[in-house]
Amino acid sequence: MPSTTPYTTYQSPLSERYASKEMCSLFSDQYKFSTWRRLWIALAEAQQELGLQAITQEQIGEMRHFQDSINFDAARAYEKKLRHDVMSHIHAYGDQCPKAKPIIHLGATSAYVQDNTELIQMREGLRIIFAKLVNIVGALSSQAMKYKDLATLSFTHFQPAQPTTLGKRICLWIQDYLLDIEEVDLRIAGLRFHGVKGTTGTQASFLSLFHNDAEKVKQLDELVTKKMGFDKYYPVTGQTYSRKVDSQIVFSLAGIAQSSQKFSNDMRLLQHLKEVEEPFEEEQIGSSAMAYKRNPMRSERVAALARYVLCNCLNPAFTAASQWFERTLDDSANKRIAVPETFLAIDGIVNIVFNVVSGFSVYPQVISRHLADELPFMITENILMEAVNAGGDRQALHEGIRRHAMEAARAMKEEGKNNDLLERIERDPSFSRIKSRLKIIAEPKSLVGRAPQQVEEFMQQSINPLLKRFGHLLDKKCIPALHV
């Protein structure tokens, strides 16, 4: 086989550009096959502890010595001949551990190392993502409190609507991520070990190994589970654990993609409005042709990766639905791609989101100007009520406001003028009784409802308890430097 370099063979952008070293390491060959060996060691230890005299401490010590020293070349050579990845690594491990060779993988089937390793990887991957979600919520919470009183134009259908505050809008993003945190926490807590189940999940081979002592077989399952850091195992399996587990976990990650794409869409729209802007490095180039541009590249990248995850999450769903009886192998090739790539893509997404939420710029003057452009139309009912309470004729006042509003809107659209509706009403004698109150009625802070209080209550009731509970995870070092 001709030699290759990273420049002459395909490299996944997920590992090369987007995912952290931590997540890439978790799904690396080194981690995978070291974990296989840890599983073989745990199995041998448990079998010895339960009285299997064929296994010696010397054999276990030999296996432990070579646990992380994977002889990849030997394994590849064996796989080329045997066409079986697990058997190739058993033989390669046996070459390094000649004394332990007879007892490696004793009574087990391939799923013992494959499935248990994948469950370990998913659990650790979820923990990495969980910590980053907590950091995202922590950063967004600081921004929400900072801007809880900053009145801004809200939008429904991307059309101007009743004012809110920027802090309240940020809380909408936080709420989505809180739901994701709850979901991921649930998945971590519910994830179990495949355990020691044998060829079709009946544990028949282990029953034979322990001379039909069913209690020892049960203890073996429990011992290995605990040695590998799990509290529980799935009580019934086929040869594999249910592939529905993969689907549930990937759909949980897809929820993070949904939240992140929604956030990135809002950021892109706000950057177009020049109200909020994602971080932009001093020497960063927005466009190769238009030197002035400051494109929302990070938010766009979040949207792109999120779209990939949302499409990819169907793969484990179809795999779970397509399994036959105790197992079929049409899951294997798909799982090797779909599950790790979902974790890597989500890792890339949350890394970028954290970068954006930790350093976006807010432009209050622009926000105020946009609000001023639309505010007079939004308070016409308030003005009408005030004028009626001051003794005016409701129908005549309504017609006056309608006429002034139509003319102000026409001037804005056709002549590019500022919104002068309030000035028009102020000059109208019909509204002379409330002329002195127009500025008070038009004060933005009086039009945002309970938005500032809602931010404070949200922090007290939902965010602060979460950040207190997981304060040990609040460390910006857990988020790698961004590959722009």
Instruction: Answer yes or no: 157 catalytic.
Output: yes
Selected residue with higher pLDDT from 167 and 418: 167
Query: Is the same domain home to 73 and 144?
Result: no
Q: Helix, strand, or coil here: 197?
A: coil
Query: Is the same domain home to 77 and 134?
Result: no
What's the pLDDT tens digit per position in 407-422?
Answer: 988 998 999 988 898 8
Active-site residue among 25, 208, 287, 432?
Answer: 287
Amino acid code (one letter) for 466: L
Both tokens assigned to 448: 């945002």
165 phi-psi bin (left φ>0, alpha ψ -120 to 50, beta other) = beta
In a domain, 472, yes or no: yes
Report DSSP state, residue 481. P
Instruction: Name the domain count of the chain.
Output: 3
Instruction: Answer yes or no: 91 catalytic.
Output: no
Interval 265-278 mean pLDDT: 96
**How far is it, in rounded angstroms, from Cα 124 to Cα 12?**
21
**The pLDDT of residue 285 is above 60:** no
**The pLDDT of residue 484 is above 50:** no
Reported as a pLDDT band with limits 50, 70 and 90, residue 293 is: low
Q: According to the model, what pLDDT value does residue 483 have?
A: 46
Nearest C-alpha neighbor of 256 from the set 348, 159, 383: 348
CATH no. for residue 467? 1.20.200.10
Active-site residue among 3, 157, 211, 472?
Answer: 157
What's the pLDDT tens digit per position in 84-111?
Answer: 999 999 999 999 999 999 999 999 999 9
Query: Is the same domain home to 94 and 119?
Result: no
In a domain, 233, yes or no: no
Q: According to the model, what pLDDT value does residue 287 have?
A: 52
Q: According to the model, what pLDDT value does residue 288 have?
A: 47
Looking only at the bridges linking them, the beta strands covering 361-362 and 151-156 are unpaired
Q: According to the model, what pLDDT value does residue 386 have?
A: 87
Task: Print the domain residue range for 166.
Answer: 110-153+162-195+241-282+292-360+459-478
Q: According to the model, what pLDDT value does residue 410 have?
A: 93
Interval 460-481 mean pLDDT: 83
Per the CB < 8 A criterion, the answer to whether 112 and 43 are in contact is: yes
Query: Is the same domain home to 191 and 308?
Result: yes
Range with lowest mean pLDDT among 173-182, 192-201, 419-428: 419-428
Residue 413, Cβ density class (10 Å: 0-12 exposed, 13-18 middle, ≥19 buried): exposed
Query: Is the same domain home to 143 and 263?
Result: yes
Tally of CA atoms within 13 A in the half-sphere of 146 that contains its CB = 13
Q: According to the model, what pLDDT value does residue 3 have?
A: 54
What's the pLDDT tens digit per position in 345-403?
Answer: 999 999 999 999 999 999 999 999 999 888 888 888 888 888 899 898 999 999 999 99
Selected residue with higher pLDDT from 210 and 442: 210
In a domain, 327, yes or no: yes
Q: According to the model, what pLDDT value does residue 280 have?
A: 75
- Of the candidates 63, 83, 103, which is a domain's last residue? 103
Helix or strand (DSSP H, E) at 153:
strand 151-156
**How far is it, in rounded angstroms, from Cα 368 to Cα 365?**
5
In a domain, 39, yes or no: yes
What's the pLDDT tens digit per position in 139-161?
Answer: 999 999 999 999 999 999 998 88
Q: According to the model, what pLDDT value does residue 377 have?
A: 85
In a domain, 331, yes or no: yes
Query: Is the same domain home to 168 and 300?
Result: yes
CATH no. for residue 416? 1.10.40.30
